[in-house]
Structure 1
Amino acid sequence: MKICIVGAGAIGGYLGAKLALAGEEVTFIARGQHLEAIQNQGLQVIMADGSSHVVHPSLATSDINHAGSQDVVILAVKAQSLAAIAALSSLPEATRTRHSANAEGIAPALSSLYNPDTMLVTAQNGIPWWYFQKHGGEYEGQQIHAVDPDGIIAANIDIDRVIGCVVYPAVELQSPGVIRHIEGDRLTLGEIDNTKTERIQKLAQSFKQAGFKAPVRSKIRTEIWLKLWGNLAFNPISALTRATLEQICQYPLTRELARQMMMEAQTIAEKLGIEFGISLEQRINGTQKVGAHKTSMLQDIEAGRPTEIQAILGAVIELGKLTHIPTPYMDTVYANVKLLEKTLIG
């Protein structure tokens, strides 16, 4: 299949590299020194077992308009970049070119990538903008202001193309053109209306051929919550303390803080009909087993980049207000991360 990775950073680059190694025709949309390195030397992926692979994609560019029609588009940019990409995708080409810097150097004409059957895979952390689309129940169509404050994403991305994806691999961008895989190879997929379709089975098969575990789940929102349950606590705590996952879990005070945040989140999720298949302690212990890994939010803080705090924690706090559930622990940590972000980034 022809697959375009929009945002070929750590996660996007890793997904695209493994798909390319499996024989898929992969295009990378990237920017800056990372793009230059891929264009000049290829993308190097250092695996957890120490093996190394260099991938030369079919195309590496900063301009989506050069990519052409695709069978699959994987949106691997951070959640906070989606609105800019969605907004620009609906503008005339000349206007997109003038404003491309607002989308981290990507000229995002997403519609230029589409054929009638193109799948759009969302690979962001946190609560997705489409959470209440095709959801059913009393909150059907509810806007998530923390991740789509002006409704730009929902207005400019075709919901019928969207496939949910929960990405579990831990990876780091070691240097421009070099990605290090820490652990994990599971990508959980799901149609957002909870159906199992022929197209998603085809997508899952491509991921499996690339060496991923790619189960298709009928309740993708439950899968989102299972990962987010830990992320909403450990990512912001790591950003504030500069500690690894292992350190946070082993230190009693931060472990307890994470537990309190996760208890608040569990109450919200259950109010929305989510059933967790594991206990809270099992989820924390699973995080501890990842080891001395810096979370993506800590990596962003250290690099002076905006974080995913809105999608990972702000959106959950918003859902707490929607369901009338107080979130004092999450509120406190959220406020501190927002101030840290403002202090370091502006």
Structure 2
Amino acid sequence: MRICIFGAGAIGGYMGVKLAQAGADVSLVARGPHLAAMQEKGLTLIDAEAGRTTVDVRAREKPEDLGPQDYVIVTLKAHSVPSVVPKLQPLMHPGTTIVSGVNGVPWWYFYKSGGDLEGTRLRSVDPDDVQWNGWGPERVLGCVVYPAAEVSEPGVIRHIEGNRFSLGEPDGSKSDRATALSKVLVSAGLKAPVRPRLRDEIWVKLWGNLSFNPISALTHATLDVLCNDAGTRAVARGMMLEAQTIAEKLGVKFPVSVDRRIDGGAAVGAHRTSMLQDLDAGRPMEIDALVTAVQELGQITDTPTPTVDTVLALIRLRARTAGLY
């Protein structure tokens, strides 16, 4: 089984180290100083429990240098994915599976979802249907990414918490390709359950990203602060309740309450969300898949989203002011 991680930043790098340690046939696509460091010194993972580990990895900038793969795990920020669709073609053979480890509402959300919205395309996450037409949703295996990690310096990943990558077919089946990848990830010390209702998990994860990310970027507060401050907690709660109404109209079942989800965010501690990290680093901010997509789904389901709309307007302007949107 040949596995390529496309976008080997914090999450992709973390997964890459774990797979390489387990002896998997894994390669990584990256660029810039991070790539140069990996090629020169290997890829280092710093973990609170396991300490510091460095592994040699096959890392390249050009996908054509790696050849066709059985699984391509995409761990880019959502807004970066449409532009790389043509670049992934050299990694494909007829049976290649695209594992979408991207935050937010996935572009394939309504593929084999059933109901009146079957096949609906989302402009906010797949403008011009680039992914839908370029890869085809039939290649996709969904993935909800739970670990928190960051690139502390080129070639070095700091793992903060979590090791679960939930997998799921768009139609909810327990397919051979999902089961095979799950076994490989589990052998690498990761949790990789195959879920029949992955969309439920997508929304529970999205609850936090939808609210915590933009609020943190607007306030520069860490998770523990924004979840415990009465004012920002109320804003996050309002956004989550609006999202819950939308999701339940789409058939989603939430296994936890909004308040429990917020408490879970607080328990992570003084973590800087990915959107805050991007703002501080001058990188484009992941707004559309996390926030705009919820607004779009509100329009599709005829659900008012006043709190989401307000925070979206603020974070868009903050990002534009910084030249990051």
- Which TM-score band applies after superposition, normalised by the shorter structure? over 0.9
Does residue 291 (structure 1) correspond to residue 284 (structure 2)? The answer is no
Distance 1:8 1:136 in 2: 33
Q: SS of the counterpart of 2:322?
A: helix
Does residue 65 (structure 1) correspond to residue 52 (structure 2)? The answer is no
Of 97, 116, 130, the residue aligned with 1:152 is 130
Where does structure 1 lack aligned partners over 5 or more consecutive residues? 90-107
Q: Pairwise mapping of residues 107-186 of structure 1 onto structure 2 (< 5 A)?
A: 108=87, 110-186=88-164
Give the aligned partner of residue 23 of structure 2.
23
Of 250, 259, 264, the residue aligned with 2:242 is 264
Per-residue deviation, 1:307 = 1.2
Q: SS of the counterpart of 2:173?
A: coil
Q: Pairwise mapping of residues 1-346 of structure 1 onto structure 2 (< 5 A)?
A: 1-49=1-49, 51-57=51-57, 59-86=58-85, 89=86, 108=87, 110-345=88-323
Per-residue deviation, 1:48 = 2.5
Give the aligned partner of residue 92 of structure 1.
none
Give the aligned partner of residue 99 of structure 1.
none
Q: SS of the counterpart of 1:174?
A: strand
1:216-257 deviation digits (Å, cap 9, x = unpaired): 101111110010011100011011111111011111111111
Letter in 2 for 1:131: Y
Q: SS of the counterpart of 1:192?
A: coil
Distance 1:141 1:158 in 2: 12
1:163-204 deviation digits (Å, cap 9, x = unpaired): 000000000110111110000011110011111111111110
Per-residue deviation, 1:117 = 2.6
Distance 2:5 2:56 in 1: 14
**How high is the sequence identity, in percent, across the aligned residues?**
52
1:72-126 deviation digits (Å, cap 9, x = unpaired): 110111100111112xx1xxxxxxxxxxxxxxxxxx1x22212333221000000
Per-residue deviation, 1:160 = 1.8
Q: How many residues align?
A: 324
Per-residue deviation, 1:326 = 0.7
Letter in 1 for 2:114: G
Letter in 2 for 1:152: V
Distance 2:236 2:163 in 1: 25
Q: Which runs of 4+ in 1 moved over 6 A?
A: none
Distance 1:244 1:211 in 2: 29
Distance 2:132 2:176 in 1: 25
Where does structure 2 lack aligned partners over 5 or more consecutive residues? none
Distance 1:140 1:48 in 2: 44
Letter in 2 for 1:283: R
Per-residue deviation, 1:50 = 5.7
Letter in 1 for 2:188: A
Distance 1:133 1:161 in 2: 11
Letter in 2 for 1:14: Y
Distance 1:173 1:7 in 2: 12
Distance 2:136 2:298 in 1: 28
Letter in 1 for 2:48: A
Per-residue deviation, 1:150 = 1.1
Per-residue deviation, 1:158 = 2.6
Q: Tell me whether 299-308 or 163-172 shows the greater mean CA deviation.
A: 299-308
Distance 1:298 1:48 in 2: 22
TM-score, scaled relative to structure 1: 0.92
Distance 1:241 1:50 in 2: 33
Letter in 1 for 2:174: K
Letter in 1 for 2:41: Q
1:100-155 deviation digits (Å, cap 9, x = unpaired): xxxxxxxx1x2221233322100000001000111111111111111112111111
Distance 1:114 1:257 in 2: 43
Distance 2:138 2:299 in 1: 29
Per-residue deviation, 1:71 = 1.8
Q: SS of the counterpart of 1:151?
A: helix
Distance 1:158 1:275 in 2: 27
